[in-house]
Structure formats: C-alpha cells, structure tokens
Amino acid sequence: MSDTFNAWSVGRYGPPETLAPVVRPLPVPGANEVLIRIHASAVSRADGMMRAGVPRFARLFLGLRRPRQDLVGTCLSGEVVAAGPDATRFAVGDQVFGEAGLNFGANASHICLNEDGVLMKKPEALSHEEAAVMCDGPLTSFNFLREVAQMRAGDAVLILGASGSLGTAAVQIASAAGAQVTGTCSERNAGLVASLGAGRVIDYTKEDFAQAGQRYDIVYDTIGVSSFKATERALTEKGRYVCPVLSIGLLLSMLRTSVLGGRKAKFSATGMLKPEKLRSMLAELLVMVDDRTLAPVMDRTYPLDHLIEAHQYVETGHKSGNVVVV
Ligand SMILES: NC(=O)c1ccc[n+]([C@@H]2O[C@H](COP(=O)([O-])OP(=O)(O)OC[C@H]3O[C@@H](n4cnc5c(N)ncnc54)[C@H](OP(=O)(O)O)[C@@H]3O)[C@@H](O)[C@H]2O)c1
C-alpha cells in the first residue's frame, strides 16, 4: 500500500474552481478507527453549499473565515484496508458505506473513520456508487418523512423537487409507506418520478401546485423552492411543511407555528443527529433495498480527478438523482 493518499482540498469558500487536488500521508487508524479505500463518493448539493459557505450562517459550524476542515466530501463507499486494535464492528476486507459528516474528506482515495460513527456494511444489492449516496437523499428523506413529518400510510404527500437526490428517494420512501404521492418536477423527469411511485406528477414550469385546490398532509420541499406561507393553503388542518433547506423565513415560520396548534413548519439537520439514530434509520433503508422498494437513482459518474466538473454539474441545480466520483 502506498504511504500517501489523494484527496481534494478547499482553502477558502468559493466556486467549484476553488477546489484543489492534494496528496497527503496515509493516516494510521486509531484504536477504534478503520482505514477505508474509497471506491465511490457522493457529490451532493449540500457539498456544493458547504464548499461555497452558503447560507452564510452555516459558517458558524463550517468555519467563520475559511473552512475549518480543508478536505471535502461527506458520503462514501469502499473497503476496509486496515483496522485499529480495538475495532470490533468491522474487519479488513469488509465492504462498507457511510459518512464522514463535518469531518469531511470523503472525496478522496482513502479515509479513516471511527467505526462507531455512521458506518454500515454494504449489501451486495448496492454498487459502491449507489451505496455512496445512501447517506444523502435516502437518509435525509427518511428522516424528514418518517421522523420529522411523522408520515403515516394513506397520507397525501407532496414532494417538491421530486427528481433530485432527496426527491427521488422521498418518492420511493413515501410510496413504500403507503402514502398518496404527488411530485413536482419538469417534463423531462415526469416519467422517472412516476416510475418511482408518484401517482400524480405536476410540471412546476407549467402549473403552480398551490393553486390546484388540492390539500396535503405533508409538503416536503426538498430543495427549498417554496415556503410555509406559500404552501399553507395547500396543507390540511394539521398539515406539515417540512424543508431541509434552512432559511430565516423557515426559522420564523417554525417559531410561529410551534406556539400555535394546527399546521406546522419543520426543519432538521440530519447530519447532526446521533450516529446510533442515523445507523438505525440506515438499517431500515437497507430493509427497503432488500425488498426492492428503494434503489438510489444515479445520474452522472465522474473520475475522482474530475471533481471540479462534478461540482459544476451539481451546481446547475438540474441533476436527476445523484452524482458520484469514483
Ligand atoms: N437538512 C438536512 O438534513 C439536509 C441534508 C441533505 C441535503 N440538504 C439540502 O437539501 C437540498 C436538496 O438537495 P438535492 O440534492 O435533493 O437537490 P438536487 O438533486 O440538486 O435537485 C435537483 C432537481 O430539482 C429539480 N428542480 C429544480 N427547480 C425545481 C422547482 N422549482 N420545482 C421542482 N423541481 C425543481 C430539478 O429538475 P429539472 O432539472 O427538471 O428542473 C432537478 O432534478 C440541498 O439544498 C441540500 O443542501 C439538507
């Protein structure tokens, strides 16, 4: 094994071109750590926002003047190639997937992770590319629909941005749970969204969902294109507007609706939940993979040394499902 590894660094907040390839000494796993040779890692919309340092208040967690951690990438899949003396959950040769979270460094050839973090055995049913994105769209949408919105069978669920990473996972999760799913996307993705389980597809370029007179128990705004205020009339009396994209408007709506009965606005930072909680949600998602009710939707795959191009594509805001580097 070489004594160095390849990774990507971001020394200051900025556009995709700010990313720079680096070579670093290969880390030796600590007592409870495993060293993973990465086969695939996700390039998500969230990765792009963290690289750019937006929204600005996110810099409170990421680093005020420049990124606190200079390596990039959060979600990965690969093989354990070395294990610390106290590691018991994983052994050399195990195929694993998970997330580095705010420690970053997943867009790389190798990474050391604590085995008690968000790390799971990769099932054979998932390729490394598919497993690499499980902690982005599938995990986030599971958290938002099942935990934050408390979705039940029979609920009418509207998914805004149904063709994105979070959206394609959300349509599958809601449909498998027995919800009546409506998704918004453009015409070119309508077939995809319907094939994932949406009973109704609204073309956001032609129709405003809020004007259609339909009521929903849950509006899951996966990309933050609407607001609690704009969706209020489309929510049932106890309806929930849940959105993973934090804004001042969403915060104010959450504050206002938390003290009143009736409709609610809600947010969660999935990556900030305890690793045990995230692992138990991933375990439920793996049951869905096994049952063939969930399969990550893949868009483009780039070589690791084309990370800048991958970020540029994700930044268009028009990917369908997920993008990875291998
Ligand atoms: N809070 C959390 O725990 C958490 C965790 C992970 C991610 N996030 C955040 O979640 C957000 C979602 O990311 P994502 O990766 O799912 O997005 P994405 O994959 O980049 O979304 C792209 C899709 O959105 C569609 N779209 C664009 N404008 C639309 C509109 N006005 N209405 C409906 N669909 C539209 C596009 O379709 P067309 O190409 O057809 O237009 C495209 O297929 C990001 O902001 C990320 O930071 C939050």
Best probe residue, ligand 1, of 223, 299, 311 (max atoms within 8 Å of C-beta) = 223
Distance 127 CA to ligand 1 centre (A): 23
The confidence score (pLDDT) of residue 210 equals 87
Query: Could you read off the pLDDT of 71-93 as tens digits, one per residue?
Result: 999 999 999 999 999 999 999 99
Nearest 5°: phi and psi at 150?
50, 50
Supply the residue whose CA is at minimum distance from atom 36 of ligand 1.
318
Q: Are 99 and 40 within 8 A, CB to CB?
A: no
Mutate to test the pocket of ligand 1, among 139, 142, 166 (most ligand atoms within 8 A of CB): 166
User: What integer is the mean pLDDT of 116-144?
Assistant: 98
Mean confidence (pLDDT) of the chain: 97
Q: In whole angstroms, what is the distance from residue 267 CA to residue 249 CA?
A: 12
pLDDT at position 301 over 90: yes
Residue 212 has pLDDT above 90, yes or no: no
pTM: 0.98
The tokens of 167 are what? 């959206």
Cα-to-centroid distance, 35 and ligand 1 (Å)? 32
Give the Å distance between the CA of 47 and the centre of ligand 1. 12
Distance 166 CA to ligand 1 centre (A): 7
The pLDDT score that the predictor gives to residue 2 is 87
Q: Please name the amino acid found at residue 205.
A: T
Between 58 and 199, name the one with better pLDDT.
199
Cα 109 to ligand 1 centroid, rounded to whole Å: 27
Q: Which residue puts its alpha carbon closest to atom 18 of ligand 1?
A: 164
For residue 187, give the ligand 1 atom closest to its CA.
40
Compute the distance between CA of residue 30 and CA of residue 23 in angstroms, rounded to an integer.
20
Residue 211: pLDDT band (50, 70, 90) is confident
Phi-psi region of 292 (alpha: psi -120 to 50; beta: other; left: phi over 0): left
Going by CA atoms, what residue is nearest to atom 11 of ligand 1?
223
**Average pLDDT of the segment spanning 188-199:** 98
Convert the pLDDT of each residue in 221-253 to its tens digit.
999 999 999 999 999 999 999 999 999 999 999
d(C-alpha 326, C-alpha 215), whole Å: 42
Q: Which tokens hold the place of 28?
A: 């030796």
Q: What is the pLDDT of residue 23?
A: 98
Name the β-bridge partners of 79: 37, 95
Instruction: Compute the chain's Rg from CA coordinates.
Output: 20
pLDDT value, residue 307? 98
6 falls in which pLDDT band (50, 70, 90)?
very high
Distance 164 CA to ligand 1 centre (A): 5
Using the mean position of ligand 1's atoms as its centre, give its distance from the Cα of residue 304 in Å: 23
The pLDDT of residue 101: 87
Distance 225 CA to ligand 1 centre (A): 9
Q: Which residues line ligand 1 (CB under 6 A)?
A: 44-46, 49, 136-137, 140, 160-161, 163-167, 184-186, 188-189, 204, 222-225, 244-245, 268-271, 317-320
* Mean pLDDT along residues 121-138: 98
Q: Identify the residue whose C-alpha is closest to ligand 1 atom 31.
A: 225
Give the domains, in start order, of the chain with CATH numbers. 4-134+296-325 (3.90.180.10), 137-271 (3.40.50.720)
Query: Beta strand 20-25 with 4-9: parallel, antiparallel or unpaired?
Result: antiparallel
Question: What are the tens digits of pLDDT across the range 27-39?
Answer: 999 999 999 999 9
How confident is residue 193, by pLDDT bands cut at 50, 70 and 90?
very high
Would you place residue 59 in the very low, low, confident or very high pLDDT band (cuts 50, 70, 90)? very high
